[in-house]
Structure 1
Amino acid sequence: MAEDETPIPDSLLPYDLWTEEALRLVAVRALQFAAREGLPGGHHFYVTFDTRYPGVVMPDRLRAQYPEEMTIVLQHQFRDLVVDPSERSFSVKLSFGGVPSTLEIPVAALTAFADPEVRFGLQFVLQTIANTDEPEPAPTVAPPVETGPADVVSLDAFRRRPPVKD
């Protein structure tokens, strides 16, 4: 076996998990900035989350309308955006059909985050919660943004691949 064909051993370190956590932190930092400073220029966020995820708090009428997944847009008409000091959740007040509602969303429930102004987007794999009887929901894709395709960072770019044979 040639030296460049040596198989890569399985990692004993959770690089995939660490990378996913780091990418979620990018979304958290953007939310913290918006909570503190507001959204500059044309920046706005599409935040997609799994409504079934433990810890998601939302009105029953919205949960009935969005039983699996919901995308909210943080642009002009949102209030009281607060990122928990632990950086594990955030809350925001939005109006749906003219009715004000507060949503509380664990960061782990996010499946996508995008800022169409700069064509930036992230997709996430849902994190498994220990001690639940429900299977982990499948990852989902955020709806396309009308301003053009987002530059999505996928973890696949960082996963091990078999060596290319000549």
Structure 2
Amino acid sequence: MTGEIDYGNLMHAAMRSLIKTVLEQVGEIGLPGNHHFFITFDTNHPDVQIAQWLQDRYPGEMTVVVQHWFENLVVDDEGFSITLNFGDSPEPLYIPFDAVRTFVDPSVEFGLRFESPEDEEEESPVLYEVTDEDEAEDTPEEDSGESKDAEVVSLDSFRK
């Protein structure tokens, strides 16, 4: 055992468990009310399973929207599979929880972001608040170059 408690990895595990629980509930009862999710994941993760044309189009990172139409949402201990519609073409995906970079439910201004080691020297999870300006329409908008005013709270600021 090391001389320190690894709070960063413990927080990541807890946040991934939260995502797992939410997706299990949605798989059982569907999306309640206005809830919907923007899930960004690493397409290069070795256990991600997506169509080759999606891998070619999104070679590093991809964001999917779970909202109006989805099928076959199945959650296991390591990740989830889901069928989403891409231009009237249903595509099955498998996304491991370890590949998830952000999980956002803009309907309740909730979001999780997982920092990667490339983002900062020590990996630390970040909770952030989604503002009305961050909530996207059903179709993605082009990047206008303007920054969004989301409040980012790094857990590092609470560490001693």
String of CA shifts for 1:92-145, please: whole Å, max 9, x gaps.
00111111110001000000001010010000134xxxxxxxxx6548x9xx43
Residues 14 and 109 of structure 1, relative CA distance in 2, 3 Å threshold: same
Q: Highest Rg: 1 or 2?
A: 1
Residues 117 and 107 of structure 1, relative CA distance in 2, 3 Å threshold: same
CA contact (8 A) 1:52 1:67 kept: yes
Q: RMSD of the alignment, in Å?
A: 2.7
Q: Distance in 2 between matches of 1:32 and 1:154?
A: 27
Output the amino acid matched with 2:54: L
String of CA shifts for 1:35-82, please: whole Å, max 9, x gaps.
111000100011110000110000000001100000001011000111
Q: Distance in 2 between matches of 1:24 and 1:105?
A: 12
Unaligned 5+ runs, structure 1: 1-9, 127-135, 161-166
Normalised TM-score (structure 2): 0.76
Counterparts of residues 1-166 of structure 1 (less than 5 Å): 12-84=4-76, 86=77, 88-126=78-116, 138=119, 144-146=134-136, 154-160=154-160
Alpha-carbon shift at residue 150 of structure 1 (Å): 5.9
Shift >4 Å, 4+ stretches: 136-139, 147-153
Residues 149 and 92 of structure 1, relative CA distance in 2, 3 Å threshold: farther
Output the amino acid matched with 2:93: L
SS of the residue corresponding to residue 53 of structure 1 reads: coil
Unaligned 5+ runs, structure 2: 121-127, 129-133, 138-147
Aligned residues: 138
Q: Distance in 1 between matches of 2:99 and 2:74?
A: 16
